[in-house]
Structure 1
């Protein structure tokens, strides 16, 4: 027979009072937690595994980690990557060792919130203990783990993508809050506005409801109307009047507007992001990405300007530094576009994964020792600076047996016009068809 639950003290924040105590109470994330879905299977297997929970704020990352600890009767240790460091990691290791060596021989789950805030060496500190099985590692992040979590740790953890809560999910949360008497009745229009304002974030919704409940109690108000809601929350509500587009949809609109060379639309979405509370540092990182992915060598100054804008923001902060980011947005929008580097990089990665590891040809190997020279390392290498025009025509730099691919195909825009001309001339000197790219 299950033990009776201890009543939750009303002094706790509403978000904590409504935190699910079992998997069946979780609202949302059914693509992971529904019957037959990956995380549900993990819970039912009785075998915890290390994982990364990636998703926007307020979608249940911490809740799922806590429920996993409950399901496996594991010691649960939380580390905040914003506030913590190696000392916290060391203390977690010691606690896990004590738990495993104690009478109960209890397992441990180490939950790292905002894991992307840890640097590479801090993330590396988890590796030996994850490999040894001392504890199960669960990281939570709002950033793409492909870029923010080092590859060694990423290879040892499954990645689960959490989605923003739907309007129906958020409406269920409102109903749960009302069921425990935490908030007064809500006019339909007011509830719709609140749900739009929450923008898929359960924590934002519940914290706002709690603020409204306190204000309503002070005024003796039995119902929250739309007019009163706007009066209490004021400017904070305005930006979400048209339905509360999801965070990642908005950044996608910005990226596509820059790619589409529309500076006005780009500025609009950029300001929408700032107005919606996006971290300008996140915006700066996305601008650097746009400069590499969509402009590349058509205008190499774009990447430098994006990095300068990011550095300017770091020095000035908000709101002064936001102008430098806005300048970057406009420059990227009007710059000539090329995804040739992005496409070439992806093609090269695909070939290397498919082709395997071919040996480096002898003439390209380094020969710092006499033994290596005797083994003919570097033999036959032609030093380009000693050749006519600084170019060793006909030399091959690919592994033997590999048909030389052409990953990089410059576009007919910006600086890449001149780069393309240079490559065609070099191919002519190599005895190759200089116009092969155009014929492909």
Structure 2
């Protein structure tokens, strides 16, 4: 009986390892075979902080061409992230231009590696030619500056989505991060902008906006909208930046998709709580010392706390979000919005940079997702939404 038990255990372990090996091999194959579209990668802002040639291997950051190739990445949306303060300074539009120029410079330096698509057909041609296609998405609608002509301007430059707000409420929408909510959702101009974005074929991104703004967008938009880098609030109670179950259902009913953010604090309630505790301790330290929160001493103290106390999410935690959303609305409404280069060192174990998409694919395979499911999640669902926006614009631009 003892021998039988050991033999059975050995068989189980061997079969399990074989399955794991097969899943890993298949994941690598699928990552190279299927189109991978990532809804949010913060390379342009990273380059504003310090010049690097991401066409070559880099020591810093989460993205460069060799790692993207290894991970099978075909079309990372380049986030044109405009900090909220730029609106107050009156330079939001020019700052967005400077970020777009960073992406254009990447393409000019490496035309054999990168290209910027201005349509879905462009993206498909670029990928077929072996290039990494770099669609643009403005994170924070501040650069519109209350003028619909600026929407046309950015659309003509290649911007395919706009995140209506960011960390502060702006002239378009209230922010999920801001206690000051002057519009109780969208401003009057914001409501006009939603309709005009539909008409221009620019996708509406509801990541970062308040819940009230989300519901108003859903009521107003004639086409599917996206959450370019959000996760499920079910796992992070009270974190409005993520989407609750009713919002996810409404997004799906609209035909849209939620593109799962990989940042640990978006994924794990335990991680989010550890981050909040670190922030509280750092604030207390700064107050006790009479220092600015931005001082070097406070930064070093915060970094020390983070090394000692921050709890990272795991790949399994990330997969739990995919499972939860699938159970709510099906795989047709899920995508990837990693936030690579945008969430610092908070990325989960197993998803640390763009070379590791195969780890996600392997995890999905092990959880019973079919190849067809995975193809939709990796990029097919986003292409469907993009196409719906393009087709509506062609019919209604006049």
| Shorter-chain TM-score above 0.5 | no
Higher RCO, 1 vs 2 (CA within 8 Å, ≥6 residues apart) = 2
Higher Rg: 1
TM-score (norm. length: structure 1): 0.25
